[in-house]
Chain A
């Protein structure tokens, strides 16, 4: 059962009526697009991606639903599901996150867990560990590695939820009443903390102090990455902080790469693979995540049909590279030219950027990380799991 099916199913199993169920996420259908980084790509490429993922899922034994049933069916989360409905009608970001959890699970949400499982299978059991309990291996993956995949998803989701806290002193009247926004913050903190506590619990059960340390440090990286992401996001005047591509890479590693890299490494540690194999798994996780992020940053600039007014992130890879080629002053001038009465004309700015070298060099950067990910895979023996990991890289580095 996928996460989505679980989420769709569980309010019903708790006896909620279908009308209350609809309230929770149905308003999302028209707004989901703005948060779904994959929606905009050409349908051919998307179909290809879906195919890569569903084939990979077959390899790991069963579909990748990582949020454990225990967690989803707990009183705490069902309580949250009821509370979230109160926020409908406000602009609290928790609603968007809840919608993403339901609608977007196909693409971004389960990818991390899937990669952890694939790399576990690609590495296989360690030769050192021949005595070890092969009995708890299903489809070539240890039970503890499956738990780890689940923990990776829990941490990722917890931070998605914590990203969506709002500053109460910056509210606009259009956001909704202060009381509701306060309430939304409260629920967002609690649900994120709940997911984190479940992740900690799962980690403790793995009984491996090195894995606990690795994943705890991945959490620390991720939190710092989210902090930078918040800080560098564009202010009212649309001028972003002056970060070069090397700072961008560091920060993106923290926010998008560290968790996957360290989880892949930890999966090797759980099977008692040596430091070299662990290092290669780390490299694959890191570079695959980087190339995946750059690919999604590129979508507003390369898709065939663009809804003109659609906003894009001014701290995305193509924009940062564009800025670097251009120089800070010219960039500020270009942003100024694309503004009208304080509103940024994204269509105009997009064309300006497309005319520069930012987009092509972002594609190059995406492929560069993709190649490094493929290189790391060469140290694993050929297998269908390794091919699936390669196919994921091919899918995120394909731009035609």
Chain B
């Protein structure tokens, strides 16, 4: 599928993406409002499998946050309450086992690999705390945000503190290659946030810009932490690239679906209000696809949905268009690519769980 290869490379030209005809959109339906669904349990639940190595994850993260001041400690531990999905740590430990088995049939997760799972969750959380101040968000995962409870001044310090604790844990792994790999994530997260500040006038550039932002803000963390555990478990650079490509493709798919859910999900499911992106002035995948059918959306995108009624009108356009389906289809393509990559590893329950996980990414409704 030549058009997909173009999409896959982040510099793809937009028209090649959007010329996906309706007939090519597969039978995947986007998760719709309040839909309950059952999935055939062909494999063990990947989350269950991953959690075998993650027992005490949040307790261990809290141990890394060696802070004497009570309030500061409470703020930094606020999101490590065990109620998150731990999506990233699960992928990381599954990847660690899949690589270890591939390399020498070892069924153990090394302590250093488990540390990477902790660090990935910590870097992710530090960036959430800062993002919530930047976006002036008031709720996340069904609770108030750190900035709403303690104020912006303290919230920014809480984020910095979690980042410094993650860096200390990273240094203690004692591997300079792993330090470089995960440092790349920190840089990508910031650059992604900068990309989000600007918008491109040129429609072709706009889609590439969106995918690049998606990679930096979401996929880089998953790709690079997968790569880090592969480096710790196996000396073969081919395996490192497989781990990285799997993480990158699943990461992009994850974010594309997140952007779809912002249009299709009820607020109580996401734990945050929907149409958040539009309200922040951001044009995500569904909007960019919808804009191809309704060119009148261009003006709204350029003014970042700032006029009264823009958000509602844009939302209507998106729902009337096939933007949601197109974005879901694109996410599916990324997942297929992830599966193609991970299938190069020797079979193992963990490898199959990672394949299963890519499907869950597509069908999740929250």
Contact = CB atoms under 8 A, between A and B. Distances in A.
A170 interface: yes
B270 interface: no
A186 B160 CA distance: 15
A228 B160 CA distance: 14
Interface stretch (A43-51, A191-199, A330-338, A379-387): A191-199
Contacts of A204: 176, 179-180, 183
Contact of B171 (A170, A192, A209): A209
A166 B157 CA distance: 12
Contact of B167 (A182, A185, A189, A219): A219
B187 A223 contact: no
Contacts of A209: 171-176, 179
A212 B194 contact: no
B197 to A, nearest CB: 7
Max chain A Cβ within 10 angstroms of own Cβ: one of B133, B160, B163, B198: B160
Interface string A148-177: 000000000001001001111110000000
Contacts of A166: 152-153
Nearest to A186: B134
B133 A189 contact: yes
Interface in B169-198: 170-176, 179-180, 183, 186-187, 189-191, 193-194, 197-198
A170 B152 CA distance: 10
Interface residues of A, number: 44
B179 A194 contact: no
A216 B130 contact: no
Contacts of B69: 224, 227-228
B165 interface: yes
Given A193-B130, A212-B179, A227-B72, A200 B151 contact: no
Interface string A200-225: 11011101111011001101100110
B168 A190 contact: no
B156 interface: yes
A217 B168 CA distance: 6
B171 A185 contact: no
A219 B133 CA distance: 21
A34 interface: no
Given A209-B179, A219-B167, A167 B152 contact: yes
Chain B interface size range? 35 or more
A137 B190 CA distance: 33
B176 A190 contact: no
A79 interface: yes
Given A170-B151, A207-B176, A224-B67, A213 B168 contact: yes
B164 A216 contact: yes
A230 interface: yes
A75 B171 CA distance: 29
Given A162-B160, A165-B133, A190 B153 contact: no
A190 B191 CA distance: 9
B198 A79 contact: yes
A144 interface: no
A167 B153 contact: yes
B128 interface: no
B163 A196 contact: yes
Given A79-B198, A220-B168, A227-B72, A185 B152 contact: yes
A308 interface: no
A76 interface: yes
Contacts of A75: 194
Contacts of A196: 160, 163, 186, 190
A193 B155 CA distance: 13
A217 B163 CA distance: 11
Max chain A Cβ within 10 angstroms of own Cβ: one of B130, B179, B198: B179
Given A224-B69, A224-B161, A165 B152 contact: yes
Given A196-B160, A212-B179, A219-B167, A168 B136 contact: yes
B154 interface: yes
B165 A220 contact: yes
Contacts of B173: 209
B342 to A, nearest CB: 27
A201 B183 contact: yes
Contacts of A216: 164, 167-168, 170-171
A340 B161 CA distance: 40
Nearest to B147: A168
Given A165-B156, A204-B176, A212 B151 contact: no
Contacts of B156: 162, 165, 188-189, 192
B341 to A, nearest CB: 26
9 contacts: A75-B194, A76-B191, A165-B156, A189-B156, A213-B172, A216-B170, A219-B163, A223-B160, A230-B154
Closest 3 pairs (CB-CB, A-B): A213-B171, A216-B167, A167-B151
Given A165-B152, A189-B133, A219-B163, 5 more contacts: A166-B153, A170-B151, A216-B164, A217-B164, A227-B157
